[in-house]
Amino acid sequence: MATTRRRRMGDRKDGRLLRSIPGYSKFVPFIMPQRNDRSIHYEESFEITELDRCLRKLRVDGYKGIGILHFLIAAYIRGISMLPGVNRFVAGRRIYARNNIEVIMTVKHAMTLNAPETSIKVVFEPTDTVLDVYRKMNEAIDEIKTSDESNGTEDFADFVARLPRFVLRFVIAVLRVLDYFGWIPQSLLNISPFHGSMIITDLGSLRIGPVYHHIYNFGTLPCFIAFGSKYHKYEVNRRGEVEDHKYIDCKFVLDEGIVDGHYWAKFLQAYRYMFAHPDILVAPPSKVIEDVS
């Protein structure tokens, strides 16, 4: 989703400054300068009966291992195509529209206590389907798990971690200033797990429920999604019959500085609709809405 707009004064490498938003929206980052000051928490149990059926069909069609993680990311991307304000970020107390869609996830090399972990960042287009998400995520995860070499994120973390504490504090302070003014080099933005559209974690793989994970004050991430294992509920329908329904619990921590609560509510309603109609994510959207100028 590389922007075709010409870069103007005030724009950043990773986003364009929004100039036409209401004055109150521009005012909020000054009242609540830290991202955790502006964070809102939302929890919902999504029924996945239809989604489970859709995923089983896709696995039969050859998409081995396609699962809820791919669907959650695809639904987020589709939501951005309809409500692009979700892909904004606050930096330097200004609000920007991000130039692309970047999803971040932490991956362990093996499911053992001492296995190393690293972060991956995958870039998507607003027209991507759940099948595109499946392909891109699997390529990124396989590259991490099969490679004997560390990626750029690990290399940078290992380097700065070896510095004396007073030097490390100075480096972080410099990075904060650079981030405030949008001067962080693109090479660091490419590997930073703190700059992106959304970060997601699958706690169901650890056999625990989701948590409200904080969003980082450093960087530009406006959303953290955690989800747990699927589970069954037996419910009585209108005819008095007992039915087996499947659910997953999701918890969202969202930055209200990029859009207001009403906008986030519309986005979450669209998210819920996609759980009930997962087949729409197999095809690209008919229209992509661009954010305001």
Q: Which helix (H) or strand (E) holds 26?
A: helix 23-31
Q: Is residue 6 part of a domain?
A: no
Mean pLDDT of the chain: 92
Give the pairing of strands 88-91 and 39-47: unpaired
Whose tokens are 């939302």? That residue is 42
Q: 255 and 49 in contact (C-beta within 8 Å)?
A: no
> What residues make up the domain containing 100?
15-282
> Is residue 293 in some structural domain?
no
Answer whether residue 1 shows pLDDT above 60: no
Q: Does 292 map to a domain? A: no
Q: For position 157, what pLDDT does the model report?
A: 80
Instruction: Convert the pLDDT of each residue in 13-54 to its tens digit.
Output: 999 999 999 999 999 999 999 999 999 999 999 999 999 999
The answer to whether residue 1 is domain-embedded is no
pLDDT in tens, 233-254: 988 888 988 988 999 999 999 9
- The DSSP code sequence of 35-90 is GGGSEEEEEEEEE-HHHHHHHHHHHHTT-TT--HHHHHHHHHHHHHHH-GGGGEEE
pLDDT confidence tier of residue 258, bands split at 50, 70 and 90: very high
- Per the DSSP assignment, residues forming a β-bridge with 106 are 119
We report the CATH number of the domain holding residue 183 as 3.30.559.10
d(CA 64, CA 128): 19
Q: Which helix (H) or strand (E) holds 226?
A: strand 223-227
Tell me, yes or no, whether 136 lies in a domain.
yes
Count of domains forming the chain? 1
Rounded to whole angstroms, how far apart are CA atoms 176 and 88? 19
Which residue, 23, 188, 13, is CA-closest to 89? 13
Instruction: State residue 146's pLDDT score.
Output: 72
Q: What local confidence, expressed as pLDDT, does residue 151 receive?
A: 67
How many residues are recorded in the chain?
Answer: 293
Looking at residue 154, its pLDDT comes to 73
Handedness of CA 214, 51, 197, 293 (dihedral sign): negative
Q: pLDDT for 127-156, tens place per residue?
A: 999 999 999 999 998 887 776 666 677 778
What pLDDT shows up at residue 2? 47
Residue 174: CB atoms within 10 A of its CB come to 12
Number of Cβ within 10 Å of residue 216's Cβ equals 15
Above 80 in pLDDT, residue 60? yes
Handedness of CA 168, 174, 176, 179 (dihedral sign): negative
pLDDT tier at 3, thresholds 50, 70, 90: very low
Q: Which two tokens stand for residue 93?
A: 């107390």
Return d(Cα 189, Cα 194) in angstroms, integer: 9
> What contacts 284, CB < 8 A, 6 or more positions away?
127, 128, 129
Per the DSSP assignment, residues forming a β-bridge with 97 are 16, 88
Mean pLDDT over 174-189 rounds to 95
Q: Model confidence over 210-219: pLDDT tens digits?
A: 999 999 999 9
pLDDT value at residue 113: 72
Structure confidence by residue, pLDDT tens digits, 61-107: 999 999 999 999 999 999 999 999 999 999 999 999 999 999 999 88
220 contacts 194 by C-beta, under 8 angstroms: yes
Q: For strands 101-108 and 94-98, give the pairing.
A: unpaired
Three-class SS of residue 221? coil
Report if residue 85 sits inside a domain. yes
H or E stretch including 130?
Answer: helix 130-146
- Residue of higher predicted confidence among 118 and 272: 272
Whether residue 5 lies inside any domain: the answer is: no
Is residue 7 included in any domain, yes or no? no
- Please tell me the predicted confidence (pLDDT) of residue 62: 95
